[in-house]
Structures are given as structure tokens and as C-alpha cells.
Structure 1
Amino acid sequence: MLSLYLTYTLSIALLISSPGPVIALVISDSKHGWPTGTIWGGAISAFLLLVCSLFVIHFALVIDEVLLDWGRVVGGLYLGYLGVSILFSKQQYSIVKSHHHDCFWRTMKVGLSNPKDILFFLAFLPSFIVSGQSFVEQSMIFVGIWLVVDMLIMVAYAGVAKKLLVYKRCQTLLFYLPGVFMSMVGVISIYLGLSNLF
């Protein structure tokens, strides 16, 4: 189980570090001072989406464990598609203009307004759920790890935004590396689902 949680931690660290709308807001707001509200808004929105996704997965397990295996296959295909899409897309890195007041609620809206995040969680999480183990215990560990990693990465972005992202190589690495790992997790997820089904 420890190796599974370490793999999960590494995977989400690479995925969260990929620049997106919330990260862009953190970087932008850090120019005006320490973006505490922005960081908390992003973390809480991710927490809510993660919990919703775990509830859906739990109900699928209650109905039939075979659904989890099919979820792994379908989710793996979706993750593979997302990963390949990133690898073949053109790099676009832009800073969202921000207003420092109401940063928390603005970031919450940005984080919760993307329905693709729920689809991502539904595709990503089944690869790490072990049948026969306590689902609640696993869920609490997944959520806890996600929150810690999410907060650490956003704090790191805020702290080094002006130094790190001025280098084009760093931008390129942060843009494409999550695509590679997303594709790898997708392949592993498909393999786990199909090996259990057949």
C-alpha cells in the first residue's frame, strides 16, 4: 500500500504542477502580495470536487465491483486521451488578470466552474483504489495527500513565480511532463481494469 500511495503522490504532484487557471491566478496574485485567499480557494475547490468524485466511485462499488474495473478501463482511455492531447498541443501559458480583493471566492468559482475536473477525478482515482480494503480509509488518505500536495505546490508557485517561470525551458517542462505521466497512468489503469475483468 505504501508504494501505491507514493505513486499516487508523485502522479498528483506532476499533474497539479501543470499550469492551469488556478495556478495562473496564484502566480498573478503573488505580484500583489502573498496570495493566501487564492491558495485556499483553489485547495478547497479541488477538495470539494475530489469528495464528490469519491462519492460517485463509492456508490459504483456498492452496486458492483465490476463497475470499478470498467471505470478503470474507461478512465484509463480518458486519461490517455488527455495525456496525448497535451503532448500534441501547442504550449500556451498565460497569466490571468486578477483583482486582489475577493481572491478566495473568485478562485473558488474558477476551480468549481470546470466540470472536466470531476471527469478527471473519476478517471484518475479508480487506478489507485484497492478492492477489499476500507474505501473510507483509502478515501481519507487520498484526500489528505491531495490537499497537502496541492497546497505545497501552490505555495511553491507563489514563492518562485517571478524566478522560475521566466525561463522558457521550465515552462515547457511544466507544460508537457504531466501529459507523459497522465498517459502512463492511463495505460496502467486500462491494464488493471482489463486484467481484473478477463
Structure 2
Amino acid sequence: MTLDTLLLYLVASVALAITPGPTMLLAMSNGIAGGMRAAAWGIAGASLGAAFLIAVVALGLGSLLAASEGLFNAIRAAGVAYLVWLGIKMWRSQPIDLRAALAASPADVLRPRTAFLRSLTVALSNPKTLLFFAAFLPQFVTSTTPQLPQYVLLGAVFIGIDTCVMLGYAAAGTQAVRWLSRRSLRMINRGCAAGMWLLAATLAVWRRPGA
């Protein structure tokens, strides 16, 4: 892999990471509901999910999903259902005063374990992401040299960039808690919920190239 190829990959990864997606919306919502601690655990879950998908691609298993229409549709249906359910939860959630809640009743704040598990589930339940990695990463891999170290490098770079962007979304959520009214926070939560439903609808109707 040449330096020019790596720089091109960096630019492409930044462009992809800043595009709002389910894990980005979750990072912001987690920041609103549980502060940076819960958001950080959610980001860890999303990053672990991304690492797993990249490992799957590196091992060549992404081709199995690409070849199996039944498996793809099964995972897609599960992903759509989970995004819809998560959107409902976010729509119904009530913003809280984090400082008062942490002092009075820590159980009322979003638990780190919950943030971690739902972010991990979102990352793993989207077959479109796996197919994207399967199509995107190999373009930057040199076939004449060992490929596994290249996938490790590309994966680490992408996850690092993605993590930084999610931290930005989470920080925006925590600042929103500090400066905005409960009504405004509720509108942000519902906007994130609507974003989840839009992503679910997009995944439901999305067809693979050549399908």
C-alpha cells in the first residue's frame, strides 16, 4: 500500500464517518440521555461492531453474505425491526437533568451497559454496512503483498476516525443537555428517532447492485 493510497483512504473515511448514520445518532442520543460516560460505552460498542465486520471482510466471509440472498434478507429484516424499535424507544424517552439525576437517582440515567449493547446491536444488524466494507476496503488493498496487515491498518484507521466523529456527536448531545430546554431536548430525541425510522425505511427498500 502506497502513501498516496493511504491518504486517499483517509479522506474517503472522513467523508464517510461524518455522514449521519444510526451509530452517530445513537452517540448523540446517548450523550443526551446519559452523558459522556454512557456515550463512551455506546461508542465502544459501535467500534467493536465495526471491528467485527471488518474482520469478517478480511477473512473473506463477506462474500457469503453477498452470495446468499436469503441470509442477506434475514439480517436486513432484523436490522429494520431493531431500528424501528429503537426509534420508538428514543421517541418516548424523556430528557432529564443529568446533574440532578446523578445526584438523586443514578438509575434514572441511561446505563453504560445499555448504551454499549444497543450500539453494538445496531452496528452488527445492518448487512448494508458489511457489504459496504466488502466493496470499499479491498479497493485500497494491494494484492501482491500480505493482505491481513493491510486490513488491520485500514480497519484501525477507519475505526479511529469513526470514534472521533462519534465523540463529537456525543459531546454535542451533552452540551445540548446543558444549554437547551427540556422541550428542545425532546425535539432532538424525536429527531434522532425519525432519523432511525428513515434509516430503517432506506434499509428495507435498498437493493444491492445487480440484485
TM-score (norm 1): 0.59
Query: Post-superposition shift, 1:18?
Result: 0.9
Match of 2:48 among 40, 44, 48: 44
Is 1:10 the equivalent of 2:11? Answer: yes
Query: Cα offset for 1:40?
Result: 0.4
Change (3 A) 1:138 1:131: same
Q: What residue identity is the alignment partner of 1:44?
A: L
Relative distance call for 1:96 and 1:150 in structure 2 (3 A) is: farther
Aligned to 1:169: none
| Whole-angstrom CA distance in 2 between matches of 1:57 and 1:33 | 37
- Give structure 2 stretches of 5+ with no counterpart: 67-86, 94-108, 177-183, 185-211
Higher alpha-carbon Rg: 2
2:171 aligned partner, one-letter code: G
Counterpart residue type for residue 100 of structure 1:
L
- For the residues of structure 2 that align with 1:11 and 1:95, how far apart are their CA atoms? 32
Q: How does 1:35-114 map to 2 (within 5 A)?
A: 35-56=39-60, 97=90, 100-101=110-111, 102-114=114-126
Q: CA deviation at 1:160?
A: 3.0
**Counterpart contact for 1:28–1:95, Cα < 8 Å:** no
- Please state if 1:152 is matched with 2:156: no
User: Is 1:33 equivalent to 2:35 in the alignment?
Assistant: yes
Deviation at residue 95 of structure 1 after TM alignment: 10
Per-residue displacement from partner, 1:128-172 (whole Å, max 9, x unpaired)?
111212212211211111121111111112123457xx9xxxxxx
Q: What is the aligned length?
A: 133
For 2:172 and 2:122, the matched residues in 1 are separated by: 22
1:183 maps to: none
Identify which of 142, 147, 153 aligns with 1:141.
Answer: 153
**For structure 1, which runs of at least 5 residues remain unmatched after alignment?**
60-70, 72-93, 167-198
**2:207 — aligned with what?**
none
Change (3 A) 1:96 1:18: farther
Normalised TM-score (structure 2): 0.56
- 1:128 aligned residue (140, 160, 167): 140
3-state SS of 2:59 partner = helix
SS of equivalent to 1:144: helix
Alpha-carbon distance in structure 1 between the residues aligned to 2:89 and 2:23: 9
Task: Provide the alpha-carbon RMSD of the alignment.
Answer: 3.0
Percent of pairs with identical residues: 29
